[in-house]
Amino acid sequence: MKILLIDDHFCARESVACLLKQIFPGLQVFEAENFDEGLAIARTTQLNLILLDIQLPGKDGLVGLVELRQEFPNLCVAMFSGLDDRELMFESLRLGAMGFIAKSVSRQAFVEALRDVLSGRVYLPASVVGPQPVLEATPTTAGIKPVTDPASLGLTPREFEVLGWLVQGLCNKEIARKLGIEEQTVKNHLRPIFQKFAVVRRTELLVKVFEMGIVFGRPEVGN
């Protein structure tokens, strides 16, 4: 596995690179101190993940993220920032990041975040968005709208189930396993969900759900 770390602080890069090698034996870590240097590495190396700092000299990480998504649409990119900010996280997801990892997270949270994004999940830090919406719906409070009726979102019961599992962070393969259906069937259900929420990526869909203040109960596994 190969991970590229783009961060302008040498000590931070060295510390994270050391930690990454402890977590993933045999891992190759590539380092860059600015975006252009990192882009040159990405163009010549088959990478599994890029950890991209937001505050970079010259070209900042969000601008760089847009370039990476355009040139490498299938490459997993996660923002890695010292700024633990909700709006920055949402903007990162809108632009195509698979996660937003704060540099202040614990070792365990960092490991979980990496495993999530590498497995195709979107990592959402609890420190920014609060606990993942997996609890049973509770009475409506300020800005929160518990949802139990698929029709209220314009969804079919099966689309509602798929969305409920997606919001919990599951990738397509895991959703298919939960529902006892083929992975392609999950993709078929996601297309109309994306259309109904007017988004094109699952990261945008998650942002839309959180911005709307929707809280899902744990989805029931249907037939």
First to last CA, the chain: 38
- For the chain, the residue count is 223
The DSSP line for 116-183 is HHHTTPPB--HHHH-S-S-SPP----TT-EEE--GGGGT--HHHHHHHHHHHTT--HHHHHHHHTS-H
Q: Are 162 and 193 in contact (CB under 8 A)?
A: yes
Q: Are 206 and 127 in contact (CB under 8 A)?
A: no
Over the stretch 53-92, which tens digit does the pLDDT of each residue have? 998 988 889 999 999 999 999 899 999 888 777 778 888 8
pTM of the model: 0.69
Kindly state the tokens that stand for 49.
């993940």
Over the stretch 182-220, which tens digit does the pLDDT of each residue have? 999 999 999 999 999 998 888 788 878 877 777 665 555
Distance CA 177, CA 30 (A): 35
Arithmetic mean of pLDDT, 28-52 = 95
Give domain limits for the chain: 2-128, 145-216
CATH number given to 145-216: 1.10.10.10
CATH: 3.30.9.10, 3.40.50.2300, 3.30.365.10, 3.40.30.10. Which one for 2-128?
3.40.50.2300
- The answer to whether the 2-128 and 145-216 domains have the same CATH topology is no
